[in-house]
Amino acid sequence: MRRRFIAGNWKMFKDRQGAIELAIALRQSLADVKDVDIAVCPPAVFLSDVAQVLRGSNIGVGAQNVHWADEGPFTGELSPGMILTTGAQYAIIGHSERRQYFGETDEWVNRRLRKALERGLKPIVCVGESLSERDSGKTTEVVGRQTRKALDGVTSTEILNVTLAYEPVWAIGTGRTATPEQAREVHKFIRGLVAEIYGPDTAAALRILYGGSVKADNIKALMAEPELDGALVGGASLKADEFTRIVKYQS
């Protein structure tokens, strides 16, 4: 049985005080959670502050991006070593907003992933199709390409430290959510691809999260699908009570 994983992506929200206050509130409200892995991904400038608040708790901390070089002339980027020194353990890679607004390519996603694994970070790799791609029947083509290229060169040992997240672009920040059936269909497809590459046992163990307008009022229906192993939560992770309800939902 795969252990559920709920991660919150704070995106470009909160100031320093707000980030600290949210971390404190979550540490208190989620302290009794034993059966779910939890992580929050604040803006990079607050990684150390949030990690300090959550040190020793049951909540991990992650960055929203990571570069493929250990150091170099890459203005605005964060190396894995920099992230690790803050106390963070996770890194989101290939989020659709990075792909859409900042030209993130499948090749870059792969390079970021391989470096993150090399340095011991726990990557959360995002894949997902746009509305036009879904409407034109290209969901499996797009998601399949993104998944295969992201995992290119990743070994059968390394893949065990990877979490995949299916994030349909059309459902991020729009209020629209993939139906449980739509999410199940794509999660099953992704798991089948992983089985082709790494074998059925590895595919069965791999966690695949759903992301896209996840809220407290739809988490139960989504998580009722056995192919969904948790969620990558955006806007709803910015409110302590809402994120707590998502983590603590009753199946």
Q: How far apart are CA 150 and CA 137, in angstroms?
A: 22
- State the catalytic residue, choosing from 129, 167, 225, 227: 167
State yes or no: is 95 an active-site residue. yes
Q: How far apart are CA 48 and CA 197, in angstroms?
A: 37
161's tokens: 């430290």
Do 19 and 10 touch, CB atoms closer than 8 A?
yes
- State the catalytic residue, choosing from 95, 97, 129, 187: 95
Do 236 and 215 touch, CB atoms closer than 8 A?
yes
State yes or no: is 185 an active-site residue. no
- Residue 230's SS3 state is strand
One-letter amino acid at 206 equals L
232's tokens: 């990558």
Q: Which of 11, 213, 42 is nearest to 222 (CA)?
A: 213
Burial label for 132, CB within 10 Å (0-12, 13-18, 19+), is exposed
* Backbone angle region of 213, left / alpha / beta, with phi > 0 → left and psi within -120 to 50 → alpha: left
Q: Which residues are catalytic?
A: 95, 167
